[in-house]
Structure 1
Amino acid sequence: MPTSPSCCLALLTGACLALVAGCGNSSDAKSYGRASQTPAASSKVTVVASTNVYGDIVEQIGGGKVAVTPIISDPDQDPHSYEANTQNQLALSKAKLVIENGGGYDDFIKRMLKSSNSSAAVINAINVSGKTAPKGGELNEHVWYDFPTAAKIADRIATALGKADPADAVTFTRNAETFKAKLKPLEAKEAQIKKAHEGEAIAITEPVPLYMTEADGLVNKTPEEFSKSVEEGSDVSPKVLQATLALFTGKQVKALVYNAQTSGPQTEKVEQAAKTAGIPIVPVTETLPTGKDYVGWMTSNVNALAGALNK
């Protein structure tokens, strides 16, 4: 008995549905397999760094295996007074590793960690450095200007990344060794400066570069009240300002190492006094300049200071 057109259509439809269902199951299985593999293959360790200085060091050690969010990279942002926003908080909540400077420099990180449920590992650069406040004085928290500390931080970062991504732990360790090797010429240059200029006097506007200048064997002659007031954003007394200006009018210092990221009427007077007296000025910053990595930035700083001292 011949099959009716309606029966043929029903059989064909059923066959097609069965075929589509079969293909769909096969496709879903392959797609699920790809989906489950892709994140594992392309996943990166999420890192939040308080500034782009530490962010750059992480990137050099983590390479393509890390996704780094530096909170402060704009030179107009002052870490001491920075107020975190919801975008920062979101980045922190997703981080597996957080790097802060500590020592009161970037307290916004501590505040965010307290208000979040983050389970991220935290590296505190001050703690890693082992540095403490001198007797009767205050801790200089700008430890990224100390190259032995930078090397310690690199090792700590490699260890933390290795725990977050064990499969690439060897790579992180190797990259940290490469980074530390790049610091050796900087330390050698500091030793050369110290040999040639140990005991010579300099002035500063803030304590930012002191670890570098001390490694160079230089003596900071700036009244502590001046640099402390500038760092805290408070007014300098007329007496202290005059004592600071006298360093230049009397040519008592070989160079002025000037924090170019923060300025005001008092620091501008100091800068002008140095120019008038023909004292070389070495500008430094707290965050990475555009287009520089940590080693390139610090190389420029050390070379600029050496050049100023040799004038």
Structure 2
Amino acid sequence: MVNTSNGRRRLGAAVLGAALAITLAACSGGSSSGAGTTTAGSAGASGSADAATGTIKVVAATNVWGDVVKQIGGDHVEVTSIISDPNADPHSFQSSPRNQLALSSAQLIVENGGGYDDFMQTMVSSANSKAPVITAVDASGVTPQDGELNEHVWYDLPGTIKVADAIAAELATIDPANASTFQANSATFDQAVNDLVTQAEAIKSAHAGAPVAITEPVPVYLLATAGLKNVTPAEFSEAIESETDVPATVMDETLKLFSGQQVKLLAYNEQTTGPQTEQVLEAATSNGIPTVPVTETLPDGQDYLSWMKSNIQALSQALGG
């Protein structure tokens, strides 16, 4: 989300409270994971594949990055995704002893960064982990726009390619014997994502500049790749993501997007709904504006590639092809 203050701090606080309730041996000697960086060749568990299983133990903040790791590492990785329930609101996530244990033995950690999962730093430190950390926001190369960073970088297809390449490089450092496999899998994944970019750009060719509305900035990168223009009042999406009341004048302005047929579709985050987002969804539906649900984590039965493909297809269908 663009505004990383209130909503995400609540997420961090919830996980922090759970993490601090867990007592691990030698936790007091832990060091920071160095969030915002990619640290290669760290000592300890990160040095090689697990001797017992022959696999690299990886912990990802969400199942989105967990799936990308799996596509790059294949049978050579064992992935634990901390946030993985497709029916849960990621903002109210609670950690568990299982998560902390996984972090304590991780050989690679993939976090999102950008304020989305600040709880990872506390959990990694509490687990006394020395594993290298890949921060997706940094690896993706995205930059703030108008002073604000949209941390939902998994919706940025070119950025996701860069994250996948960073994962492949780190896995190769940990397990050099399988470096060629990681590189080949990364190349295959990159090509598949580039094919998705082509599909999104086909929407741009047919509907460049088409005005659209959102409830939160979750899909904004994908909308931009598809050449669509978000015309939602910034104050609306900022209030929704920070879980504060939308000012009456802003709500009125937002609702007029639908009653006045000013937008071609509404892309809404179906994982974090509330009275105000439901009011907007109702306004779109009652005025015949197509709606496109998006999520922050992988839906059941989908991997990253099929998920993004379905999102692109939904946008195309909503716009009439």
Which residue does the alignment assign to 2:45?
A: none
Q: Which amino acid aligns with 2:56?
A: V
Which residue does the alignment assign to 1:228?
A: 238
Which residue does the alignment assign to 2:294?
A: 284
Q: Which amino acid aligns with 1:302?
A: I
Higher relative contact order (CA 8 A, sep 6+): 2
Shift of 1:238: 1.3
Worse overlay, 189-198 or 205-214: 189-198
Distance 2:205 2:194 in 1: 17
Which residue does the alignment assign to 1:149?
A: 159
Match of 2:86 among 75, 78, 86: 75
Which residue does the alignment assign to 1:87?
A: 98
Distance 1:244 1:82 in 2: 29
Shift of 1:40: 3.9
Q: Does 1:129 align with 2:136?
A: no
C-alpha contact (below 8 Å) 2:142/2:159 kept by paired residues:
no
Distance 2:242 2:232 in 1: 16
How many residue pairs were aligned? 272
Distance 2:51 2:123 in 1: 29
- Secondary structure, in 3 states, of the residue corresponding to 2:138? helix
Shift of 1:176: 0.5
Shift of 1:41: 7.2
Segments of structure 1 that go 5 or more residues without pairing to the other structure are: 1-38
Q: Does 1:120 align with 2:131?
A: yes
- Give CA deviations for 1:132-177 in whole Å, capped at 9, x if unaligned: 2123x31100000011111111111111111111111110110011
- Give CA deviations for 1:216-256 in whole Å, capped at 9, x if unaligned: 11111111111111112111111111111000000000000
- Which structure would you say has the larger Rg? 1
Which residue does the alignment assign to 2:195?
A: 185
Distance 1:78 1:133 in 2: 25
Q: Does 1:301 align with 2:311?
A: yes
TM-score by length of 2: 0.82
C-alpha contact (below 8 Å) 1:79/1:105 kept by paired residues:
no
Match of 1:208 among 218, 243, 249: 218
Distance 1:93 1:152 in 2: 27
C-alpha contact (below 8 Å) 1:249/1:273 kept by paired residues:
yes
Q: Does 1:264 align with 2:274?
A: yes
- Give CA deviations for 1:257-290 in whole Å, capped at 9, x if unaligned: 0111110000001001001110000011000000
Worse overlay, 230-239 or 251-260: 230-239
Shift of 1:114: 2.6
C-alpha contact (below 8 Å) 2:199/2:312 kept by paired residues:
yes
Relative to its length, the structure with more helix (as a share) is 1
- Secondary structure, in 3 states, of the residue corresponding to 2:95? coil
TM-score by length of 1: 0.84
Seq. identity, %: 55
Segments of structure 2 that go 5 or more residues without pairing to the other structure are: 1-49
C-alpha contact (below 8 Å) 1:84/1:112 kept by paired residues:
no
Distance 1:78 1:161 in 2: 31
Q: Which amino acid aligns with 2:260?
A: G
Q: Which amino acid aligns with 1:254?
A: K
Match of 2:256 among 235, 242, 246: 246
Which residue does the alignment assign to 1:160?
A: 170
Q: Does 1:107 align with 2:118?
A: yes
Q: Which amino acid aligns with 1:134?
A: Q
C-alpha contact (below 8 Å) 1:223/1:240 kept by paired residues:
yes
